[in-house]
């Protein structure tokens, strides 16, 4: 069977925010970030800165299997990610190998008795072969790349620690429970400099390992024979990487504010907490999305809801992963959206609930100085808790404003806008002539 390894590449090392782990910490963290005297007068929030070889292990045992067995040879293709996540994929499928190479993945691993497969694939693609021998993964110069462990009991899990690993990479085959052992491994290996892989049989299982205890394991070994799980995992990794990209945001000037009557507006409740300066990108036209602030700031009349964005009416577009948009009316529990902040930093979040209610609306229009002929617009609920995000103040300006309530918005105020292609087909940007007004 062929193993295949994706090492996801990026020169940048990104540290994701560390969220609280207990109810008390959540309350303290929320007060620290979100409780301010007023919308426009607050402090800047602080950023919460080997056991032996087992013959039954699905990786190790394949070294003695016949070519007809499901694990007779291993293909590994690698690339690195924004958090140095790695994926090794087990497969004997030439189609899986081809799909890997087509996506820039070219490091492969084989058992010594299947060097012929390495030679065959090397003749049709530029690959870097690695080889599995018993419980070890070796390169062409016989240097140890990884060691392999099977964990099926709590006692075996306790024996797995950085001191017991003889290589920088460790492959773990979790036979029974998955999430709790994975979380324990993340905790045990944190700061060790070693990368721990867990064998998974689907993209969803791989995602679970990569997100265990927030930071996740260092990698997974995806054991599949079909291309679809690979594509699903690659899509997940792409979205994960996109969640840490910097968006280019433009400064727009408010040119019109008008109360227009009642409409069905959408509150988007996320499975993540937002900080001051963060929100969703929403707009009446896909060509320009306004950065709408979350309800994380407290007032004298209502408690903060740092998981919520009062985003706008049902027809509005909202930014989602993959460079796409969807209508607010299409959001539902489980769908991912893009959170952005004043600096253009982004992350993904899961929609937990969507509330649609009839409320009074305000039409807000804005223009960019360099595009005076183009108008961008958004409808928002006429309420003090609904706000747009302005540009970051200059260094010599003392006051940091993270949100301007729609009820306080004035002509000439500046807000942040994401300008992009306006023509869309099922949320995907396309090139075509389009006029929207």
Question: Which of 425, 421, 281, 250 minimizes the C-alpha distance to 347?
Answer: 281
Q: What is the DSSP letter of 98?
A: H
* 359 backbone dihedrals φ, ψ, rounded to 5°: -145, 160
The Cα 296–Cα 245 span in angstroms is 23
Angle at 129 between CA 126 and CA 131, to 5 degrees: 165
Question: In the structure, how many helices (H) and strands (E) does the chain have?
Answer: 7, 23
Cα–Cα distances in angstroms (integers) from residue 103 to residues 22, 124, 253, 267, in the given order: 41, 15, 42, 38
| pLDDT for 199 | 84
Place of tokens 């006429």: 382
Cβ pair 407, 384 in contact under 8 A = yes
| Residue 90: strand pairing partners | 3, 223
Cβ pair 327, 317 in contact under 8 A = yes
| pLDDT for 249 | 92
| pLDDT for 86 | 84
Collect the ranges in the chain with pLDDT lower than 70. 1-84, 104, 242-245, 393-400, 421-437
| pLDDT for 322 | 81
Token output for 20? 């609280």
| pLDDT for 108 | 77
| pLDDT for 321 | 87
Cβ pair 157, 180 in contact under 8 A = no
| pLDDT for 434 | 55
Cβ pair 255, 114 in contact under 8 A = no
| pLDDT for 136 | 85
Q: Kind and range of the H or E element at 290?
A: strand 288-293
Sequence-ordered list of residues with C-beta below 8 angstroms from that of 268, at least 6 positions apart, any chain: 280, 308, 309, 311, 318, 328, 331, 337, 351, 354
């Amino acid at each position: 069977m062929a193993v295949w390894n994706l090492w996801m590449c990026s020169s940048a090392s990104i540290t994701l925010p560390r969220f609280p782990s207990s109810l008390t910490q959540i309350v303290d963290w929320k007060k620290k970030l979100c409780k301010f005297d007023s919308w426009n007068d607050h402090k800047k929030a602080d950023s919460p800165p080997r056991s032996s070889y087992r013959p039954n292990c699905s990786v190790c045992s394949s070294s003695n299997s016949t070519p007809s067995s499901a694990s007779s040879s291993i293909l590994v293709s690698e690339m690195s990610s924004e958090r140095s996540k790695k994926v090794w994929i087990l497969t004997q499928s030439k189609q899986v190998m081809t799909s890997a190479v087509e996506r820039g993945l070219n490091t492969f691993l084989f058992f010594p008795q299947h060097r012929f497969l390495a030679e065959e694939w090397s003749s049709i693609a530029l690959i870097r072969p690695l080889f599995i021998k018993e419980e070890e993964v070796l390169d062409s110069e016989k240097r140890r790349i990884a060691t392999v462990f099977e964990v099926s009991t709590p006692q075996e899990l306790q024996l797995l620690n950085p001191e017991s690993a003889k290589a920088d990479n460790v492959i773990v085959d979790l036979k029974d429970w998955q999430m709790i052992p994975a979380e324990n491994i993340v905790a045990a290996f944190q700061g060790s400099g070693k990368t721990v892989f867990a064998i998974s049989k689907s993209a969803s299982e791989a995602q679970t390992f990569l997100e265990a205890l927030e930071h996740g394991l260092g990698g997974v070994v995806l054991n599949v024979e079909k291309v679809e799980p690979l594509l699903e995992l690659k899509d997940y990794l792409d979205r994960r990487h996109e969640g840490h990209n910097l968006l280019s945001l433009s400064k727009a000037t408010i040119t019109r504010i008008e109360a227009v009557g009642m409409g069905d507006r959408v509150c988007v409740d996320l499975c993540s907490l937002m900080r001051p300066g963060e929100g969703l990108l929403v707009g009446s036209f896909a060509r320009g999305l306004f950065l709408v602030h979350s309800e994380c700031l407290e007032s004298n009349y209502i408690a903060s809801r740092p998981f919520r964005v009062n985003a706008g009416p049902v027809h509005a577009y909202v930014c989602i992963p993959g460079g796409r948009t969807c209508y607010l009316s299409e959001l539902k529990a489980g769908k991912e959206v893009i959170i952005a902040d004043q600096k253009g930093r982004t992350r993904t979040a899961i929609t937990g609930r969507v509330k649609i209610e009839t409320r009074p609306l305000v039409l807000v229009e804005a223009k960019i100085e360099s595009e005076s002929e183009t108008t961008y617009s958004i409808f928002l609920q006429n309420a003090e808790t609904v706000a747009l995000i302005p540009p970051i103040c200059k260094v010599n300006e003392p006051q940091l404003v993270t949100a301007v309530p729609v009820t306080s918005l004035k002509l000439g105020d500046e807000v942040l806008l994401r300008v992009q292609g306006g023509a869309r087909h099922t949320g995907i940007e396309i090139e075509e002539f389009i006029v929207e007004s």
